[in-house]
Amino acid sequence: MDLFEIHHIKNIPVIVLREDRRYAAPLPHHMKMGALEQVCIEVKEDGYKTIGCFCTTHGIWPFGLPWLADKHGLNSIICFPSKKIERIPHQLLPENFEDFKTNYELKLLIPNMVNINGSQAKKHIEEQGGYYVPFGVDCETAVETIANQFSVKELGTLIVPCGSGVTLAGVLRSIRQNKSKVEVIKAVAAHTPRILEIQRTIQKYEELPFNLDWRGAYDYGDIPDIECPWDAHPYYELKAYDWLYKNIERLPQPIAFLNIGSK
């Protein structure tokens, strides 16, 4: 499958890195699937029988956990903030996993702040003797896997949508280790108030380079009123595309856009 596309935005070519296409159904279209599978492998090697995570209302990478856990002989738990089963994404419904060799549990949490629900999820999973996958797959294994997966040689501008900062940390490691020549990296946050928190996540793994430029103009619930020429997740990639469209004339070329996930 071709992971590279060229799109012309206002007559300017943009290289779209379609990492969302790297993994096929039933896995979700998300760059972190390789990282999540590596976490499953290491968890199994460490003697765990169960692995679990917290899925936010707009998250998609957790959709892959039951499939990857089952592939490696692990039970799985996903905690989701909802009082009503009809509001659960269909990808998480237990009937999808009736043929699994191992068990899958969907745990509903009373909706609250993400950090509170995340703590509740961690407590529930660890009480079952399971390994809790940190929010955003925030661990060294994920960063290293993404770094090995990502590669560019020479760019004027790299656009990276940011949710937790884990993917960007892997991208920065790849650029550093491969000595890639990127003039400027534009990090577009899905939720502007979280930029400092995202930076702290990255700094656990990589230094913030001088050419990293943060762009923030959105709250998490915002969905830009714009149509993207490729499949972009409305709460993440679409915001980065909206910013790109508005600013493309002043960006150094060649320009690349990292499409991390899509629906």
pLDDT digits (tens, 9 = 90+) for 25-70: 999 999 999 999 999 999 999 999 999 999 998 899 999 999 999 9
As a whole number of angstroms, the longest Cα–Cα distance in the chain is 55
Contact (CB, 8 A) for 258 and 158: yes
The lowest-confidence range among 82-86, 119-123, 212-216 is 82-86
Closest alpha carbon to 163 in 240, 228, 109, 230: 240
Confidence band, pLDDT 50/70/90 cuts, at residue 259: very high
Average pLDDT, the chain: 96
Check the CA dihedral 91-55-94-72 and report its sign. positive
Task: Report whether pLDDT(226) > 90.
Answer: yes
216: pLDDT confidence band, cut at 50, 70 and 90? confident
6: three-class secondary structure by DSSP: strand
User: Average pLDDT for residues 81-108, to the nearest whole number?
Assistant: 93
Residues 6+ apart with CB under 8 A from 134: none
Token pair 């913030």 in the structure block, residue: 208
Domains, the chain: 4-25+139-259 (3.40.50.1100), 33-135 (3.40.50.1100)
Q: Percent of the chain having pLDDT more than 90?
A: 92
**pLDDT given for residue 84 in this prediction:** 87
Res. 13: pLDDT tops 80: yes
pLDDT at 1: 62
What burial class does residue 254 get, using C-beta atoms within 10 Å of its C-beta: 0-12 exposed, 13-18 middle, 19+ buried? Answer: middle
